[in-house]
Structures are given as C-alpha cells and as structure tokens.
Amino acid sequence: MAGFRGLGLLSTTALKVVVLSLFDAVALYFVVLLAWEKSWLLVGVIFAGLLGLNILAFSRRLYPFRYLAPGLLFMVLMVVIPLVYTVYISFTNYATGNILTKDQVVQLLTSRQFLPPNSPSFTFRAFGEGQNLYGLYLWGPAGEYVILTPGQLSPASAHALKDVDGDGIPDFLDGKAALALPELTRFLSTLQNLNIPFGDGWLRLSTLTTFRVYSPQYRYDPEADVLVDLRTGKEYRAQAGNFVAADGEKLDPGWISGVGLANYIRFLRDPLYHRAFVRVFTWTVIWSVLTVTLSFALGLGLAILLNDRQLRFRKLYRSLLIVPYAIPAFISILIWRGFFNVEVGLFNQFLSQYLGVRVPWLTDPFWARFACILTNVWLTYPYMMLVSLGALQSIPEEMYEAAKVDGASGWQRFSRITFPLLLVSVAPLLIGSFAFTFNNFTLIWLLTRGEPVVEIGSRAGATDILLSYAYKLSFQGGRGAEYNMTAALAVIIFVIVALISGISFTRTKALEEVSRGL
Amino acid sequence: MAFRGKAPRFWLGRLVRNVLAWVAIAFALFPALFVLGTSFDPVQNLRTARIIPAQPTFANYLHIFRERQEINFPRWLLNTVYVAGTTAVVSVFLCALGAYAFSRFRFRGRRAGLLTILLVQMFPQTVGMVAIYLILQALGKQIPWLGLNTHPGLILVYLGGAIGFNTWFMKGYFDTIPRSLEESALVDGATPFQAFWRIILPVARPILAVVFVIQFISVYSEYLLASLILKGMDKYTLAVGLQLFIGEAYNRRWGSFAAAAVIGAALILLIFYALQSQIISGLTGGAVKE
C-alpha cells in the first residue's frame, strides 16, 4: 500500500512529542522508585516497555506494530509469559517451604536468636507520662543504658537521671516519672517487640523485670556457602534449595532452586504421584473420548432428524434443542448436581419411588463418572448438532440422487456418503472439542470436585482430570501448595494439547485454510 | 395403487420423527424448566419443591435481592457484568486494531506474527494457572489494584486470553471488506488510522458485535481463573458465587438457588437467542466454546 507509507502519523508530531515525554517522565519516576526497592525484574520490564513504546511512536518502518502492540502486549503478558514461566517452575522446587529467594532465607535464618546461658542480664525501670512510654533505664553487671521507645539505645550517661528517694535507682528519666509495675503491663506488647542490636546479638525483654542479650543462632559464611549453628557448631551446607547438615538434617524454610527433571520423575517413580497420574490420565482420556463420541452420535442423529425438509416446526425444534448450549455451563452443571444429590435429588426420588433403589451418584466412583459423562453429553450435543447440521447442508443433493439411481438403501447412503463426507468437515471440530473436554475443569469441579476419594493420602479423586488434579496440587486449602508439581503437570498437558493440535493440523485441511488466510 | 402401501409408512415415519424430536426436547429442557418452575415455589427444599408450585410466589426472587450479607447476589451480578463488559469492550477494540494491521498492511513479521498467535492460542490459558497466579501476586505487591483479588487483575488476565482467537476471527472478516472503500479516503488525505476508525469500524459493526457478545458470554461463564484470583466474597463473579447458594444445602436453599440461576441464565439466553445465527456461526466456525 504505497499510499499508506507517507501518512504514517496518528496525530501531529508536536502533540505526540509532548504527550510521550510527559508519559516517559511519569514512567521513569516509577522506574526510579522501583530501583530504590531493588525490584530489578520489574525495572527491566517497564524500562524495556518504555523503550519499545518510544521506538514504536517514531519509527516509520514499525508503523503496523502501533496497531498490533496493544493486543500483543496483553497476550504476551498473560499467555506467553505464563507459558514460559510454567515451564521454568516445573524445573524448580517451588512449593510450600521453598517459596523465598536464597537471600531472604539467609536473612531469615541469621536473624533467629537464642539465649546463651551466660548472657548479660539487665534489670530495668520504665518511665513515661500519661499514655506514653518514654523510655527504659537498664542496669546490670554489663553496664547502664537507656532505651528510648521506639528503640534507640544510648549510654545512661547521655541522659538526665534523678534519684529522689536515694535507693540508688533513678526515679526520673529526662524529667519523666517512673512507672509502677501495674502501669507497665499496658506497654507489654511494646516491650516485647523491642529488639535492639547489642554487640553480636540483640537486647530483648526476657522476663517482666529483666532484659537479656540474645545471640544469633546462625552465622552465614558466603564464601563457603555454609550456615553455622552457633549453639552446636554444626555446619549446614547450601544444597538444592535448603541448608542441609552432613547428617541429612534440613533447615526450614528453603529457597527456590532448580531441580532438573525431578518433578517429572516423581510422576513416574514416586508411588503416590505415579498411581494418581496414571489413574487421572486414564480417566481424562476415557472421559474425553466418551463425551465426544456420545455427544457427536446424539448431535448427528438429531441433525439428521432436523435436516428432513418435510419435518414441520424444524426451526422451533432446533431452537429448543440448543437450549443447553445457551445456558451458561456453570449454572446448568449446578442444577445437574442438585439432580444427582443422593438424598433429595430428582433422580433418586424418582428411582426410589418407582424402582425402590437409590443410586450413589457422586459418592461412588463409577456413578460419579457416569454422572460427569451424562451431564457433559447434555451440555455438548447441541454444539455437535449445530456443526453436523452445517456439514449436512453442505453435502450436494446430486450425490444422493445418483446413489438412489444406483439403488443404494437408506443405510448405505448414510454410511457411504453422508458419514464420510461429514467427517471430513467435522473432524477438526471434533478434535477441538476433544481438546476442550480434556481440560474442562469447570464441569468436573462444579459437579464432583474430582471426588469421590479413591486413595487415602492422594489428592486425585475418581473423577479428577489432569487439569483439576493440577489445580488441587497447588490450590487445595490446608495441604500446602506444590507449584512445581502443578507446573510439571501443566507442561505435560501442554505437550498433549500440542500433539492433539498437531494431528488435527496435519490430518485435516486446516493448514491449507490457514495458509490461505495468510 | 403404487402409493397405497407407502402412505401409512410415510405417515408413521413422520410420527416417529416428531416423537423422537420431542423426547430429545424434553431431555434438553427439563433441567431448565424444573429450575424455572421451582424458582416460584417458596418451599426451599429440593425434595418437596414442585415444578408446578402449589402456591407460586416471587418470594425467592425477593429474597435473593434482599439478602446481602455473605451471599450477595446483586453484587455478584454487577461484578460479573462489569468484568465481562470491560473485557469485551477492550478486547473488541484491541483485536480490531490488530486485525486491521494484519489485514491491510504488508510488513516484515506479518506471517510469523499470524502463525505465532495461532500457535500460542492452541494452549489453553487455564493450564498456566500457577504462573498466572504468581504473576498477579507479584504484580499486586507493586501495583495493589492490579493484583490478586482485584477485578482489574482478572480483566487483565482475560484480555490476554481473548486476543489471539478474536484477532484471527476479525481479520478474516476484514479481508472480505473491499479495499476500495478506504482507498478513496486515503487518496483524499486521510491517515490509515482515520480510515480504520471512520470507515472500517462502521462497516465491520456486525463482526464487532459478535466478538463482543461471544467474549461477554465466555467471561460471564469463566470459572477457574475467576475462582483462583477472586478471594473476597464481595469480589466474586456469579460463576464463583452461585455454588455457595446451595453448597450442600439442597434441602434449605434450593428455591433461592433456582431464582438466582434463572436470573443468571436469562440474561445470556436473551442475548443468545437475539443474535442466534451470528453467534452460532462464530462459535462453530472457530470450534471454540467458552
């Protein structure tokens, strides 16, 4: 488009420069703020974004990207980066107990304290006025100090101390009167929070009347990458995300660290994960295959029924038959869940009244799986019906005429003409539907939550599909988050989806259509 | 004489077809009809609720709009419309921009860009849930209103997922709009953006409406990401909150649930049937539901 090239401006250049420089100034301000907090990743991201924006705004050659960038930005941020990040997490130990960085872990552990038996002890007296605690006077064999709240330590000699009753203990500190013990209890939490660096350790409240010097429990040696327990002298070496002693003792918390293929190997070797994975994978495949074939069979049957031009009210029938498609799935699934309720559900009311039986829907593995498939067939057949109707209408009438002339029966016409031709155009949609069902978390979760439980101690229930099992590994309350295992499972799902799409692409004409679209 | 043998069979065949159709329709409709009927039955127990209530009232409907403690139906409905509406409007605009560039400009990286979008779009966003969760958590530490448990955060996630398919879908439509339409404007000195804004968008209104509606419906019904990101009950969308209406209390709250389900579904049913043919061609053409 020769005409486009010379006109590559959204508005006048001057306005653009003004607006852009204002925007840059604000963004750079945030970059500085973030740099102050050492959020280098975010600084990098924002800076790169800013740079990109400025280049886009002035480059003629990149003019089309001004249109593409906004959408692509969201896609990169919330689809591409999560994809890459998921792969990354799957090679780490990122889970409850290992969610901090190494620096944070070192900081946390080296700030842990213990009370050595011979540590100096100080008696103290508190001073204040009305509602305010002004400061503390501490004395003991190791000297005399004053602590001003919220926590500055200074030698006692730097303050005005006045002993009125002559017992050797000051009664006024910088003009503030001493507090009696009952008054002091009001400030107990303030006192307990005091943690004042003192020598190698910290000065802290030990009993209601004394302060003592606490020592750090660990010292970190960055050169050797070793943490030493100062009480026992035991050494803990940094190793795969934790500080570990020679005897195998591990310090909590650990940090995020690479573990190679360990998470994937757990799905193969760790019995609990392995059994769960095999069970869930098998069910996911069975569930997807059955849903797609059964709903396609039902949908195709109805499509053939509706395709009969002599059938009256076919428009009305069609509109009524697609109602399950039009109701938001999360609503109809919950309705079905009510129907399947063992005590008060519609199905068991009916069955117990007429047949005298109660089916343990949703509590027995077989019936729970049955319920999932029945519900999903109900949800999916209208889609199958619609695509089959479209495909049926595209089969030329002449083919049937010719077959009739040759004396083909109704069944022969269906199995030799209709079905093969239909399958050609519908196959990619069936594969798409398979992939969708494979990951239909909403149905499983709202209908059964993946339950019933089939193995004590395993998170995977009888109706869990890969995606809901992945969800449970990280987000099921009370059991800790195994982000690494969820991510590994997600990567496995990615691979399966890629394979399915690959088959769909090479086996059908989708690729041709796509390249025509390019 | 030749027709005498055929006529009754023909008549029978027609009867069978109609009966089959009505059986299927009964299967299709009975959950919806049951919920519609029982929503007017003030009995809150699923066991005793009747599809044709003995004394139909609006009590359940009044109840769910009055009850505003933990379970806050009106709020959840507003949240849902806000999140779905915003996502749909913004994504229509973003996708139209992208589709216009892919359809009208020839530039380096165009082919690669289209293929990349298609490839990325194959991977369901929900599978990356851990990463999305952790990214929003990190984002929220720097920008609190964009983090976990916020609507803008959720919208951000949905926008990311909405771009790929819709851009392709719209590009296909833009390709069918003759270039001569804009070319005269460009000759008259309009910028490409003006051509896009003044000419292409108005012509493409039907496709914009379809993408808007499909996007609205899909966000309206999305469960996984919403339940992952929205933690406070006041932030819930209907998809996350509706299950709390019953939990396991089918004998105590069925009527309220039914009323909420009817209202929740009615909005989507109305949109769906008003734009039936366009939506269906959009959904089945792209083989994407949700």
Per-residue pLDDT of A161-217, as tens digits, reads 777 777 778 888 787 878 777 777 778 888 888 888 887 888 888 888 888 888 888
- Residue B286 has what pLDDT? 47
Per-residue pLDDT of A256-287, as tens digits, reads 888 889 999 999 999 989 999 999 999 999 99
- Residue A127 has what pLDDT? 83
Q: Does A310 touch chain B (CB under 8 A)?
A: yes
Q: Which residue among A78, A441, A514 places its CB closest to the CB of B118? A: A514
Q: Which residue among A81, A346, A433 places its CB closest to the CB of B135? A: A81
Q: Which residue has the higher pLDDT, A155 or B208?
A: B208
Amino acid at A193: N
- Residue A515 has what pLDDT? 60
- Residue A517 has what pLDDT? 58
Q: Is the pLDDT of residue A149 over 90?
A: no
Q: Is the pLDDT of residue A360 over 50?
A: yes
Q: Does A2 touch chain B (CB under 8 A)?
A: no
Q: Sign of the CA dihedral B220, B221, B225, B227? A: positive
- Residue A26 has what pLDDT? 87
- Residue B7 has what pLDDT? 56
Residues of B in contact with A68 (CB under 8 A): 97-98, 101-102, 113
- Residue A477 has what pLDDT? 67
- Residue B199 has what pLDDT? 87
Per-residue pLDDT of A472-490, as tens digits, reads 999 986 778 899 999 999 9
**Dihedrals phi, psi of A38, to nearest 5 degrees:** 65, 30
User: C-alpha distances in angstroms, A196 versus A111, A189, A218, A230?
Assistant: 12, 15, 18, 20
Reading the block at residue A112, the tokens are: 């842990």
Q: Is the pLDDT of residue B67 over 60?
A: yes
Range of lowest pLDDT (A403-417, A430-444, B136-150): A403-417
Q: Could you write out the DSSP letters of every residue in A55-87?
A: HHHH-STTHHHHHHHHHHHHHIIIIIHHHHHHH
- Residue A485 has what pLDDT? 93
Per-residue pLDDT of B117-135, as tens digits, reads 888 888 889 999 999 999 9
In chain B, how long is the greatest CA-to-CA distance? 87
| Model confidence band, residue A5 (pLDDT cutoffs 50, 70, 90) | very low
Q: Does A91 touch chain B (CB under 8 A)?
A: no
**pLDDT, average across residues B58-86:** 90
Report the C-alpha gap between B86 and A460 in whole angstroms. 36
The answer to whether the Cβ–Cβ distance between A4 and B192 falls below 8 Å is yes
The answer to whether the Cβ–Cβ distance between A334 and B284 falls below 8 Å is no
- Residue B35 has what pLDDT? 92
Residues 53-92 of B with CB under 8 A from A: none
Per-residue pLDDT of A198-209, as tens digits, reads 878 888 888 888
Q: Is the pLDDT of residue B9 over 70?
A: no
Angle at A327 between CA A324 and CA A329, to 5 degrees: 90
- Residue A509 has what pLDDT? 59
Q: Is residue A227 within 8 Å of A219, Cβ to Cβ?
A: yes
Residues of A in contact with B280 (CB under 8 A): 322, 386
- Residue B1 has what pLDDT? 40
Report the C-alpha gap between A331 and A320 in whole angstroms. 18
Per-residue pLDDT of B164-222, as tens digits, reads 888 988 998 898 888 888 888 888 888 888 889 888 899 888 889 989 998 999 999 99
In chain A, % of residues over pLDDT 70: 95
In chain B, % of residues over pLDDT 70: 93
| Model confidence band, residue A514 (pLDDT cutoffs 50, 70, 90) | low
Q: Is the pLDDT of residue A71 over 50?
A: yes
Q: Does B113 touch chain A (CB under 8 A)?
A: yes
- Residue A6 has what pLDDT? 41
Ordered domains of chain A (ranges, CATH): 11-90 (1.20.58.370), 113-216 (2.40.430), 268-517 (1.10.3720.10)
Q: Does B50 touch chain A (CB under 8 A)?
A: no
- Residue A513 has what pLDDT? 61
- Between A and B, how many residue pairs show a Cβ–Cβ distance under 8 A? 290
Q: What is the ipTM of this complex?
A: 0.91
Residues of A in contact with B217 (CB under 8 A): 328
Q: Which residue among A85, A327, A517 places its CB closest to the CB of B135? A: A85
Amino acid at A62: L
Amino acid at A179: L
In chain B, % of residues over pLDDT 90: 42
Minimal Cα–Cα distance from A317 to chain B, Å? Answer: 7
Ordered domains of chain B (ranges, CATH): 72-245 (1.10.3720.10)
Report the C-alpha gap between A474 and B177 in whole angstroms. 48
Nearest residue on chain B to A306, alpha-carbon basis: B21
Angle at A267 between CA A265 and CA A270, to 5 degrees: 85
| Model confidence band, residue A112 (pLDDT cutoffs 50, 70, 90) | confident
**Dihedrals phi, psi of A455, to nearest 5 degrees:** -140, 120
Per-residue pLDDT of B261-286, as tens digits, reads 999 999 999 988 888 877 777 666 54
Q: How many CB atoms lie within 10 A of CB A129?
A: 11
Range of lowest pLDDT (A99-108, A256-265, A298-307, B240-249): B240-249
Amino acid at A231: R
Report the C-alpha gap between B246 and B14 in whole angstroms. 44
Minimal Cα–Cα distance from B81 to chain A, Å? Answer: 14
Q: Give the sheet arrangement for strand A242-245, strand by strand.
A: A218-221, A226-229, A235-239, A242-245
Mean pLDDT of chain B: 86
The answer to whether the Cβ–Cβ distance between B163 and A80 falls below 8 Å is no
Q: Does B269 touch chain A (CB under 8 A)?
A: yes
Residues 428-457 of A with CB under 8 A from B: 428-429, 432-433, 435-436, 439, 441-442, 445-446
Residues 15-34 of A with CB under 8 A from B: 34
- Residue A518 has what pLDDT? 60
Residues of A in contact with B189 (CB under 8 A): 7
Q: Helix and strand tally (H, E) in chain A? A: 22, 15
Which residues in B229-264 are b (16+ Cβ under 10 Å) and which e?
bbeeeebbbbbbbbbebbeeebbebbbbbbbbbbbb
Residues 145-184 of B with CB under 8 A from A: 156-157, 159-164, 167-168, 171-172, 175, 183
